[in-house]
Amino acid sequence: MYLLTNMHYKRRSLDELLNCYECGSSDIEHDTKHGEKYCADCGLVLEDKLIDEGPEWREFESNNPDASRVGQPSTPAYFYASRTIMNVKEASKGNKDLVRRLAIWNTRTNKSKERNLIHALTKLDALSGQLGLTRPTQERAAVLYRQAAEKNLIRGRSRNGLIGACVYIAGRLNNQTQSYDVLAEKVEKSKKEICSYVRTLQRELDLAPCINTPMTYIPKFICQLAENENSCFYEYEEAKLAFENQISELHNYFESTMTNIGNPQSAAAAYIYIANVLSGAGITQTEISKVSGVTEVTVRNRYREFVKFLPDDVKKDYFPRQ
């Protein structure tokens, strides 16, 4: 058998790709073990170094028919170290004291940054489960914390406060915004402290400032409204998406007609109420107030501000009293 050069291989036509160009045979074999494609009649290697796109199975025992995966891909959301893990419970009775002492010294030999990172990523994993964060958001928050640790920003600062700040920034970047109040409650730190850490991370890590818009809050508010069994969005994903698209059109219209939208959180509540009137979704101001965190009076006042800029025919048909 002999190899074909890559340059010669690229010049071949489609027929030559399907058949052996040496003998014309169509009996082409694929050797996945060696990554080669060759002619079964004359033995010509038509292509080598093929990429195996199948799963990476590994058999630890030759007589074991059940293959197992080689492991999950690495992720920044978890801590990987080459240290030995000692399980005291699985040690024999005579060696338990020895294994316990070795486990203590094994932990003490880790650097302080590594120990901090282990506790921080464990806390971040638990917080992501409580907030329902997606895996990309959790991984981005972990990357931010690792960057802060590399720049020695964790020294003299609260670990939980920094975790809350990383989650807030990662949520903003991944369109999964979390409010300061919720984060302060989960990490048991003050809202003022988390805000301070957010500004510190933005300054030291050279991150773009987080600018809120009404559309930042809309997906979260609608998901919370959809949890109500009496809601028209309950178990109807298409209705929820259509409602979001209608609010997006309203936002684009008001951005082009108004010079200042004002507070984005109250504006998002007003958007939901206006879209509710236009579509007849049947959402009350009380429900909007609960999910948005603003009072019913604020919802009514902001909604009246936006209605003034709607076209006259829309105001006449849907908002005759305004």
pLDDT, tens digit, for every residue of 216-246?
888 888 888 888 777 776 666 777 788 888 8
Long-range CB pairs of 140-147, under 8 A, 24+ apart, other chains included:
140/170, 140/173, 140/174, 141/166, 141/167, 141/169, 141/170, 141/171, 142/75, 142/76, 142/77, 142/166, 143/76, 144/169, 144/170, 144/201, 144/205, 145/117, 145/120, 145/121, 146/76, 146/117, 147/205
Tell me whether residue 77 is in a domain: no
Average pLDDT value for the chain:
80
Tell me whether residue 95 is in a domain: no
Q: Is residue 76 a contact partner of residue 146, using CB atoms and an 8 Å limit?
A: yes
Tell me whether residue 106 is in a domain: no
Confidence of residue 12 (pLDDT cuts 50, 70, 90): very low
CATH number of the domain enclosing 308: 1.10.472.10
Q: What total of structural domains would you count in the chain?
A: 3
Tell me whether residue 269 is in a domain: yes
Q: Can you give the residue range of the structural domain that contains 66?
A: 1-71
Same domain for 182 and 252, yes or no, is no
Same domain for 218 and 199, yes or no, is no
- How far apart CA 275 and CA 303 sit, in angstroms, is 10
Kindly compute the dihedral angle of the four CA atoms of residues 309, 307, 297, 299, in this order, to the nearest 10 degrees: -90
CATH number of the domain enclosing 2: 2.20.25.10
Tell me whether residue 280 is in a domain: yes
Tell me whether residue 27 is in a domain: yes
If you average pLDDT over residues 29-46, what whole number do you get? 82
Same domain for 191 and 219, yes or no, is no
Same domain for 64 and 126, yes or no, is no
Same domain for 10 and 48, yes or no, is yes
Q: Is residue 20 a contact partner of residue 41, using CB atoms and an 8 Å limit?
A: yes
Alpha carbon separation from 152 to 97, 108, 139, 149, 174 (Å, rounded): 37, 20, 20, 5, 25
Confidence of residue 170 (pLDDT cuts 50, 70, 90): very high
β-bridge pairing 68-69 and 57-58: antiparallel
